[in-house]
Amino acid sequence: MTATLIWTLVALVVIGLYLSWTAGRLDRLHARIDAARAALDAQLLRRASVAQELATSGVLDPAASIVLYEAAHAARQAEEDQREVAESELTQALRAVFEEPAQVEAVREAPGGEEAARELTEAVRRVPMARRFHNDAVRAARALRRHRKVRWFRLAGHAPFPMAFEMDDEPPAALVGRAA
């Protein structure tokens, strides 16, 4: 009887430690998602800001400036539920404006254009990377949250189910092709 009680207590302690470790792991994954989302938001804001600066600099032709400015402004002002669409539209506007290598060269040849083109190139390259880090963290947390032990023991607490950030983030080939 005593041996059975001891083994039962040992089993309960081991199960408790395992569940505690799993809950800690899930908490770390949620913290990683938060950090990755903050980094993604910073990169998206930087890209929109650089695009707006370039649109208002007078380096681009008026039609391209208007298209780029409106898309960048919409991306900066978008509500959370419309953010993915607005950021995708900014990506499409960037591809439309910098579709031709001649447009990129015209920007680079303008006074201050080399710096503006370099900043925009860096910004459009960092967005896919930040989005990939965020979505990888979301994927890992989702995989762990799908386990029965996490659901049955409610190890995720009241944390919302993590959502990936899906957007079109393909950079303009003419913009990043030259710098590669």
Per-residue pLDDT tens over the stretch 24-33: 999 999 999 9
Per-residue pLDDT tens over the stretch 31-90: 999 999 999 999 999 999 999 999 998 888 899 999 999 999 999 999 999 999 999 999
Which of 31, 71, 28 lies closest to 47 in space, CA to CA? Answer: 71
Does residue 180 surpass a pLDDT of 60?
Answer: no
Which of 121, 122, 125 lies closest to 101 in space, CA to CA? Answer: 121
Supply the pTM of this predicted model.
Answer: 0.90
Q: Are 129 and 48 in contact (CB under 8 A)?
A: no
Per-residue pLDDT tens over the stretch 128-143: 999 999 999 999 999 9
Rounded CA-CA distance 26/157 in Å is: 10
Cα atoms found within 13 Å of the Cα of residue 51, Cβ hemisphere only: 34
45's tokens: 């804001």
